[in-house]
Structure 1
Amino acid sequence: MRVRTTLVGATALLATAALAAPAVAAAGPAGGHGHTGTREAVEAAVEAGVPGVTATAVDGHGRWSTTAGTGDLSTGAPRSTADRYRVGSITKTFVATVLLQLEAEGRLSLDDKVDTWLPGLVRGHGHDGRRITVRQLLNHTSGIYNYTADDDFGRTYFLKDGFFRHRYDTLTPRDLVAIAMRHAPDFAPGTSWNYSNTNYVVAGMVIEKVTGRPYATEIRRRVLDPLRLRATSVPGTRVTVPRPSSRAYSKLAETATGPTYDVTTLNPSLASSAGEMISNSADLDRFYSALLRGKLLPPRQLKEMKTTVKIEGVPNAGYGLGLMDRTLTCGVHVWGHDGGIHGSASSAVTTADGRHSLALNFNGDWAGDMEAVIEKEFC
């Protein structure tokens, strides 16, 4: 189901994302130097059906921002360059960064087995946490079943009738892992690759076990506060998005046709440490630039993070430890992550030297082409 995987990251990670409405562009302080194609691609996304887009780029000429389309379909209010939005699986890079910091401090090893920290958690229908390493969680080679692919979960949280009954449910990380354990693994650990949100739910639990504090606390202490990412938060069970923000829209269906629903408020515990975070484009640019410049990890850990495995079916991309490398059509490599959750599709990427970054968000989850925006910005 395309909607289900997009909502907590996989389709947005590997392909295009999507949406619908009118277009209004706004130049940022850099005066739009060299960003004409980017603006055109943003406007094209709106013309293709995305309600609204916000994007911010940072390069040697400074910061540049643009918006297009609508932030609120009921009032016609435009999107803002300062909009906060749910970032979905971009959360994974923050989680991986914290685990690599803990490795650098000697508090765990990437080669530790999951059972070393969470005995008995990953067990059932062929799953065995005694055979899966922390590294395999982070690069999606564990084989652990993706809980968001479970049919009952999809009907309950991603389709219209279930969503409106259950949008405010609180789910614990153990609840989410238990859903995955009802299924057989996708493959034996280390033998293949498959994107699984369950990996990062378990990774968040490892952080808590190692530190004695919630993963959200560690992200704030280790990343958000040092980088002064004031627009970024880990909401837990908070159902609203802080202002300034736009509304978020979804079809809540397996197709891109039919009515459009406002899905802005929801309990993000359904995504947990696989995709619950909120940020804005400026903060995401700052985060990925700092990460690739080595401001968050020592050289050895950053090298580990950038050691990729092949993503089957995607020839120009590799997946590291919570970080994706893709080669654009012009040969430029960008590092980052995509993310999707109800009504929100996002991407944040930067060059290897951290000097040129782009973050963008569509406030809808059923159409649009984020790759086209990225291509125009860097090529």
Structure 2
Amino acid sequence: MSYEDVQRVLDQAIEKYGVPGAVVEIRDGGETWFGTAGVADLTTGARRVPGEYMHMGSSGKAFTAAAMLQLEAEGRLTIEDPVEKWLPGMLGGGNGYDGNKITIRHLLSNTSGMFITGIAPEMSRPYATRSMFDRNRFKVWTKEDLLKLAVSQPPIFEPGAAFAYSNGGFYVAGAVIEAVTGNSYADEVDRTVIKPLGLTGTHVRGLHETGYPDPHPSFYTSQFLKEGADPADVTAENWQSMMEEPGLTPLDITAFNSSAGWSAGGVVSTVGDMGRFFTAVSAGGLLPAEQQEKMWTTVSTEGGHWMPNARYGLGVFELDNAPLRGLGGSLWGSYFHIFGTLDGEHTIAVHTNTEWKTWELAFDLVAAEFGRGK
């Protein structure tokens, strides 16, 4: 099969979107194709290679959902349980949240009404400008820090009423996993997801971890506000106008503490492992049928300032204009998405060694490979 159209999209991304380097892996039945563009390292000019370790950003949400659904399959909880059952008082601190109304399903489907944690000033301010990022790149976020942040602003709607992409809900979900099992979140993801699937290149990043196994690309970010800008002034509507001017040299953040991701996005993996994980959660092979169906029971994302043309399940999504599923995410210096057919047999995965720039790259690749999805 020819992948010239896919390679063309990949090559164009380097200049068009300011991506240092990108890789694509396509699996179609028994055939695998791997393509690259740009570089793994801007200083040495080294090319990107198969088997690289990289941060998967919010792809980790799918691991959290899968681990929770495995616990349900084991009879240890149900996703209809209210948060209050497992974390008494955690959502009752007087800021408008009610742990008796918010369920585990709400957390995992981003329908809890919890505010959009990613734009909270407490989270964004330490990394807002180049100089601040460099000073705070090794800042450690504990579970307690993240749970406090999750309820630091009032809810934005009643549980189940709408969709809003909130890391805070997944922080709470990680705490539920620990409360139910008595084990760490990382250990439970390893027990319920990583080991059963034999994902030897995958792990949940440790609290003080700041590097990657070899091989790995260098990771770069240019996601900065202009020097002197106040993150408290950023909204979903005005953020683009407050960003640093384009064309400046990206900052190398390969050495970086990503503990702010935790159960909302703390997984390091390879493109190959992510393909195996996606196929298992999409087509079956990890979860029992009942939990598999729950993972892919989707809600509308309309008005949620998220990916267009998509419906959200539990840590995963489906396109509403094509019979394709996917998962993915972005963190400073790293962006990953995988899309595939419902049976998981035909997939396309993309990673760039810089953060998300535009949905167009992902949708252009989908259109090039599947001839649909835009």
Q: TM-score, normalised by structure 1?
A: 0.87
1:367 and 2:365 matched: no
1:304 maps to which residue? Answer: 294
Per the alignment, residue 44 of structure 1 pairs with: 12
2:78 to 88, 93, 109: 109
Q: Quote how far apart the aligned CAs of 1:166 are.
A: 1.5
Where does structure 1 differ by over 6 angstroms across 4 or more consecutive aligned residues? none
Kindly indicate whether the alpha-carbon contact (under 8 Å) linking 1:170 and 1:267 is maintained by their aligned counterparts in 2: yes
Structure 2 residue identity aligned to 1:68:
A
Contact in 2 for aligned 1:335/1:350 (Cα 8 Å): yes
Listed as ranges, the gaps of 5+ residues in structure 2 are 225-242
Moved more, 82-91 or 147-156: 147-156
* Runs (5+) with no aligned partner, structure 1: 1-32
1:148 to 2:111 alignment: no
Residue matched to 2:339: 349
> Contact between 2:151 and 2:168, CA under 8 Å: does it hold in 1?
no
CA distance in 1 between partners of 2:261 and 2:308 (Å): 28
Q: Which residue is equivalent to 2:249?
A: 259
Cα distance in 2 for partners of 1:158, 1:338 equals: 23
Q: Residue in 1 aligned with 2:104?
A: 134
Structure 2 letter corresponding to 1:46: I
Distance 1:315 1:263, change over 3 A: closer
Bigger mean CA deviation after superposition, 341-350 or 362-371: 362-371
**How far did 1:366 drift?**
5.7
Please report how far the alpha carbon of residue 159 of structure 1 lies from its aligned counterpart in structure 2 after TM superposition. 2.9
Which stretch shifts more, 360-369 or 235-244? Answer: 360-369
* Shift of residue 56, structure 1, vs aligned partner: 0.9
- The answer to whether the 8 Å contact 1:173/1:202 transfers is no
Measured against aligned partners, the alpha-carbon deviations of 1:257-294 in whole angstroms (never above 9, x if no partner) come to: 13310011111211111011111111111111111221
Deviations for 1:339-379, whole angstroms, at most 9, x for unmatched residues?
Answer: 10111111022211111122210111263522211221222
Please report how far the alpha carbon of residue 61 of structure 1 lies from its aligned counterpart in structure 2 after TM superposition.
4.3
Cα root mean square deviation, aligned: 1.6
Contact 1:285 1:350 in 2 (8 A): no
Letter of the 1:93 partner, please give it.
A
Contact 1:252 1:261 in 2 (8 A): no
Aligned position for 1:68: 37
Report the Cα distance in structure 1 between the residues aligned to 2:140 and 2:15, rounded to whole angstroms.
37
How far apart, CA to CA, are the structure 1 residues paired with 2:324 and 2:2?
Answer: 18
The 10-residue stretch of structure 1 (310-319 or 197-206) with the greater mean CA deviation from structure 2:
310-319
- The answer as to 2:54 corresponding to 1:85 is yes
Match of 1:56 among 10, 13, 25: 25
Distance 1:102 1:159 in 2: 41
Q: Give matches, 1:1-379, under 5 Å.
A: 33-48=1-16, 49-123=18-92, 124-237=94-207, 238-253=209-224, 254-255=243-244, 257=246, 258-313=248-303, 316-328=309-321, 331=322, 333-365=323-355, 367=357, 369-379=361-371
Identity %: 38
Structure 1 range deviating more: 228-237 or 96-105: 228-237
Supply the distance in 2 between the matched residues of 1:56 and 1:357 (Cα, whole angstroms): 8
